[in-house]
Every structure is written in structure tokens, then in C-alpha cells.
Structure 1
Amino acid sequence: MLHDALFIERAAVRFLVACMDGNIVGIISFGPCNDDIIKCTGDRLRYVGELGSLYVLPGYQGRGIGSALIKAMANHLAERGIDSFCLDSGFRHAQAKWLHKFGPPYTTVQNYWGPGSVHMVWYCKVADYVG
């Protein structure tokens, strides 16, 4: 995805990066929603773009970098006339962060990755995250 975003003029996925002291410390993407979101929502969010690839280096976490990336991407989406996005997670650690940041998920699928696993999908309005 990153290769296409860098080298294809009209790539479907766009990335924003956070830099500190000349180093990339975080990244976020926006593009077409993934197959898991399509499957988990019964195709209801197929045409809603997905906020994804949100990563902040461990030594930089807890400094608001992830929140700043979300806000910057929301501003970028608003400028492009995009009014909503979705995101998903099957990882408990990430789910806890997203529950705090985005509230209750749009849908939850039990046992998606196997017994005892939970996959969550959020549907969000861009306007709630611009600033």
C-alpha cells in the first residue's frame, strides 16, 4: 500500500506520517475498507473509507501523536468532502484504545478469528474528529 501511495499518482490509499527530530515516529492511512470490514458489516460499509495503519513507535506512545494523526487525517478527509470513515480491530490492546477514542463499535463479531476472539468495527463521522 505504501509503495502505491508513494509512486502511483492516483493511488487508492493515502498516508500521513508524524515526524520528530527528523525521524518518522507514526503513520496513518485512509483507503478502501478491507474485506474483514465488508464481511463483518454484511457489506453495509463497503463504500465507506477505512482509517488504518495507525502506528506510533513504542517509545513515542502516550504523547498524543496518534490523536494528532487522527485529527490531521480527519481534517484532510473533511477538505476532500468525505464525511465518514470506518476502522476495525481484532487485537484486544488496540480495541481498548479504540473503545476509549471512538466509543462503542458499530458492530462486534464474536469468535471471528477463532474461539474467544472478538472483531470490532467502528463507523465514525469525520466532523467529530476535525479541529
Structure 2
Amino acid sequence: MQPTITVHPLAPEDQPAAFRVFEEAIPDAFARQGLADDKEWIAGEIEEKKRLVRQSLEPDAPVAFLVAKRGGEVVGTISFGPCGHEIQVCTDHELDEVGELGSLYVRPSEQNRGIGSALIGELIALLKAREIRRFCLDSGYKEAQQRWRRKFGEPYRVVPDFWGPDSAHMVWLREVKDF
């Protein structure tokens, strides 16, 4: 039997393990998109997520990270913070004041085991506790877009060819009370 999944706020000692999640999950996501050869883009994405983790550990940080652990080992991450550049561009800055659910990554060996859902559930509970009414999220990954459609319904905005031919970027806007 697998150890139970627990979700906690990121602690300083979780930082190296969270970095490893990004180092495994981001290249895997890019490879599934057919972008495994774009090493510079992958490295930039990993470094941006690491920067957000470091920022989240500062006092009064605008970003909050949660980690999922199985048997004490970090296997996934999720964050909430100011909306990112792609959301700002894709919505013509309509959602600049809405926080973003982001950095949802699960180690490839742990995917499809409910970890992402557990992370989302705990983040929604955190948003409710903070009396945050709305959140947005975005994705350019086709596989993730399918999952988000199942979980969050139709996107608020779809920008065709954002990442190139037949590669749309999607943005969702949701009410916390709906969960």
C-alpha cells in the first residue's frame, strides 16, 4: 500500500526537493508537447519556478507554495500569487488583479495518482480561508488544457497560435465558492 499523500505549506527544508520536482516534471511536460529539444526554454522555465519558490520563503511574500508529500518525500507543488505575464497578455490585462493558481507540477513517476487534485483541493481551502473570491490559471500544454477543461470547464480566453501554429494558450477564471 502506498503511503498517504499529505499537503503542506512549503518549508525551507522542502526547497531542494521542490526544485527536483521542477527538474523532472518540466522537461517531461515539454517532451510530451514535442518540445524536448528546446533546452534553453526548459531551463528558463525551471529557473523561473525556482525563483518563485525562493520568493515564497521571504517574509510577506506575494506567492504561496504548497507541496504534496508521499512518505515524507516531496512529489508535487502548487502555488498562488499574482497573475503571470501570459495571463496579462492573453486577457489584455483584464485579470491583473486576480491571483493565479500556478506551478502545479507532479513528478512524472507520481502522476495520475490524485496528487494534483489533492494540491488543488488544499489550495482552494487556503483561498477560502483567506477570503479570496476568484482565481485564474493558464496553460499552453495541450495535455494540461484537456485536464483543466475537465476540472474547470471551458476557458475564459483562448488565444489561437499563441505558441506557434496550432498551439493555443488558454486562460481560466473561476470563483472559489464553486469548489
Normalising by structure 2, we get a TM-score of 0.70
**Per-residue deviation at 1:93?**
1.0
Q: Distance in 1 between matches of 2:80 and 2:157?
A: 20
Match of 2:149 among 99, 102, 105: 99
Q: Return the alpha-carbon distance in structure 1 between the equivalents of residues 177 and 122 of structure 2.
A: 12
Q: Distance in 2 between matches of 1:91 and 1:19?
A: 24
Measured against aligned partners, the alpha-carbon deviations of 1:70-103 in whole angstroms (never above 9, x if no partner) come to 0100110111110110000011011111111111
Q: Is the 8 A contact 1:110 1:116 kept in 2?
A: yes
Q: Please, what TM-score do these two structures have when normalized by structure 1?
A: 0.94
Equivalent of residue 2 in structure 1, options 53, 62, 69 = 53
Q: Which of 124, 130, 137 matches 1:87?
A: 137
Alignment check: 8 A CA contact 1:74 1:127 kept: no
Greater percentage in strand: 1
1:120 pairs with 2:170: yes
Give the fraction of aligned pairs with identical amino acids, expressed as a percent: 52
CA RMSD of aligned residues (A): 0.9
Is 2:104 the partner of 1:39? Answer: no
Select the structure that is richer in helix.
2
Give 5+ residue unaligned stretches, structure 1.
none
Cα deviations across residues 97-125 of structure 1 (Å, max 9, x unaligned)?
11111110001001111222100000011
Question: Could you say what secondary structure the match of 1:46 adopts?
Answer: coil
2:159 to 95, 109, 122: 109
Larger radius of gyration: 2
SS class of match (1:44): coil
Give 2:105's aligned amino acid: Y
Deviation above 4 Å: which 4+ runs of structure 1? Answer: none
